[in-house]
Structure 1
Amino acid sequence: MTDIPFQLEAVRNRITAACRLSGRPPESVRLLAVSKTRTAAEVERAMAAGQLAFGENYVQEAVDKIRTLSHLPLEWHLIGPLQSNKTAEVAAHFAWVHSVDRLKIARRLSEQRPAGLPPLNICLQVNIDDEDSKSGCAPEDVEALARAVLSLPNVRLRGLMTIPRPGNTPAFAALSALRDRLLANIPALAASGFDTLSMGMSDDLEPAIAAGSTLVRVGTAIFGERATRKQETQAT
Structure 2
Amino acid sequence: MHKIADKLMQVTARLQQASQQAGRGRDAVRLLAVSKTRPADDIRAAYACGQRDFGENYLQEALDKQAQLADLALSWHFIGPIQSNKTRPIAQAFDWVHSVDRLKIAQRLSDQRPEDLPPLNICLQVNIDGEATKSGAAPADLPALAQAVNQLPRLKLRGLMAIPTPSDDPTQQRQAFGRLAQLMTDTNQRQGLQMDTLSMGMSGDLEAAIAEGATWVRVGTDIFGARQ
TM-score, normalised relative to structure 2: 0.96
1:51-74 Cα shifts (integer Å, max 9, x gaps): 000000001101111111112100
Rounded to whole Å, the distance in 2 between the matches of 1:85 and 1:164 is 27
Matched, 1:92 2:92: yes
Please give the residue correspondences for 1:1-236 in structure 2 after superposition, counting only pairs within 5 Å: 3-167=3-167, 168-169=172-173, 170-187=175-192, 189-190=193-194, 194-227=195-228
Q: 2:166 is aligned with what amino acid?
A: P
- Match of 1:27, SS state, is coil
C-alpha distance in structure 2 between counterparts of 1:6 and 1:166, whole Å: 26
SS of the residue 2:27 aligns to = helix
| CA contact 1:125–1:135 (8 Å) conserved in 2 | yes
Work out whether residues 126 and 138 of structure 1, in 8 Å CA contact, stay in contact via their aligned partners in 2. yes
SS of the counterpart of 2:158? Answer: strand
Cα deviation for residue 2 of structure 1 reads: 6.7
What amino acid is aligned across from residue 115 of structure 1 in structure 2?
E
Aligned partners of 1:2 and 1:219: how far apart in 2? 16
Report how many residues are paired.
223
State the secondary structure of the residue aligned to 2:67. Answer: helix
- For 1:151-183, what per-residue CA distance to the aligned partner results, in whole angstroms no more than 9, with x for missing partners? 100000000000011114111000000011011
What amino acid is the match of 2:121? N
3-state SS of 1:26 partner: coil
Q: TM-score when scaled to structure 1? A: 0.93
Distance between the aligned counterparts of 1:154 and 1:68, measured in 2?
27
Is contact 1:56–1:80 with CA below 8 Å preserved after alignment? Answer: yes
Task: Give the Cα separation in 2 of the matches to 1:23 and 1:46.
Answer: 28
Cα distance in structure 2, aligned partners of 1:122 and 1:135: 16
Report the AA paired with residue 204 of structure 1. Answer: D
- Matched-pair identity in %: 58
1:49-106 deviations in Å (ceiling 9; x for gaps): 0000000000110111111111210000000110100000100100000000000000
Shift of 1:46: 0.1
Alignment RMSD (CA, Å): 0.9
CA distance in structure 1 between the aligned counterparts of 2:107 and 2:70, rounded to whole angstroms: 26
For 1:106-138, what per-residue CA distance to the aligned partner results, in whole angstroms no more than 9, with x for missing partners?
000000001200000010000001111100000
What SS does structure 1 have at the residue aligned with 2:222?
A: helix
Which aligned runs of 4 or more in structure 1 are off by greater than 6 angstroms? none
Whether the 8 Å CA contact 1:33–1:55 is kept in 2: the answer is yes
Unaligned runs of 5+ residues in structure 2 are none
SS class of match (1:88) = helix
Check the 8 A contact 1:196/1:213 in 2, yes or no. Answer: yes
